[in-house]
Amino acid sequence: MPLILIVGLPCTGKTTRAKQIQTFLVENFNRNVHVVSENDVIRSKNLDKNIVYSDSQKEKELRGILKSETLRLLNPDNVVILDSGNYIKGFRYELYCASKNSKTTQLTVECVVSKEETWMWNEQRTPSEKYSREIFEALYLRYEPPDSRNRWDSPLLFLQEKDSIDGKAITDTLFHRKPPPPNQSTQTAPLSSANFLYELDKITQDVVSAILTAKKLGLEGPNVKIPGYETCSLERLPSTLTAAQLARYRRQFLNYSKLHPPASQTESANKLAQLFVQFLNSSLSAST
């Protein structure tokens, strides 16, 4: 069933909107609607949101919990609403791939409120619920707003402070539209023979070696073309990326690839480098 991503900056009414959508779907369509709440996870684990958002590792762990719970609830009988900032486009892309692979529709809802208004709302919160000024400003700088031109952000619904919930737009998107079919960006290249296993192992190792060579040459930063695979490029090659991390990503890709036999081994082998780089782009975006 459908996945709804609530996206927005701090104190833009994301939780209120999630509850409004949940109530609308339950009352009008008798749907089983689950809300996966970032705030609930933070409270249940006795975390301080300011500490979480000041530590990239803690924030990454929080995203992992939210993603795991969202994917656990995605099934033919549920509507799942992820109530979180969801401000990283790589994370939204991961969830898009997951919902696409589950053959379900997805809707992105961005809550839009002026910065002055959101800070005023923040100041009215209890001390344990407030963002510090430093974290508040940092989240504004990190925010990657959804863009309807990106397939993973589309369809995109904007909700400003005084807007009512557009029930028809929501239900048309969720229930009256076919989900996008899974494709090679969401289905990793599979294995069914020793020859294909050899090709998979060889090409992914070549790509890893090429990336490490690029790092030695100082080719770090955005849109880095991979030596020997000029049609493939990393959206971002971090200076902190290590050989051990690349080896771990490669193992993950190999494991995923073994699960689904290819329709055409020749075609899968030809596109293997591109698929692996797509996997790396998604993994690196989610790890930031």
- Structure token pair of residue 170: 């929501």
pLDDT value of position 135: 96
Which amino acid belongs to residue 36? V
pTM for this predicted structure: 0.63
pLDDT value of position 188: 43
**Mean pLDDT for all residues in the chain:** 84
Please give the backbone phi and psi of residue 246, each rounded to the nearest 5 degrees, phi first: -60, -40
CA dist 46 and 143 (Å) reads 25
pLDDT value of position 103: 81
Which residues on neighbouring strands pair with residue 82, listed in sequence order? 5, 36
CA dist 35 and 81 (Å) reads 5
| Percentage, residues of the chain above pLDDT 70 | 86
Query: Which of 17-21, 33-37, 62-66, 96-100 bottoms out in mean pLDDT, i.e. has the lowest?
Result: 96-100
Beta-carbon count within 10 A of 193 CB: 11
CA dist 162 and 4 (Å) reads 20
Structure confidence by residue, pLDDT tens digits, 109-160:
999 999 999 999 999 999 989 999 999 999 999 999 998 888 889 899 999 8
SS3 187: coil
CA dist 186 and 256 (Å) reads 11
165: alpha, beta or left? (left if phi > 0; alpha if psi -120 to 50): beta
- Domains of the chain, first to last: 3-186 (3.40.50.300), 195-286 (no CATH)
H or E element that contains 48: none
pLDDT band at 201 (very low <50, low <70, confident <90, very high): confident
Q: What is the mean pLDDT of residues 71-81?
A: 86
Helices (H), 124-190: 133-142, 167-175
Q: What is the mean pLDDT of residues 180-198?
A: 52
Single out the residue of 251, 253, 237 nearest to residue 287, CA to CA.
237
pLDDT value of position 190: 44
pLDDT value of position 195: 64
Question: Do 266 and 78 form a contact (C-beta atoms < 8 A)?
Answer: no
Q: What is the mean pLDDT of residues 40-44?
A: 93
Structure confidence by residue, pLDDT tens digits, 218-234:
777 788 877 666 678 88
For 210, half-sphere exposure in the C-beta direction (CA atoms, 13 angstrom radius) is 19
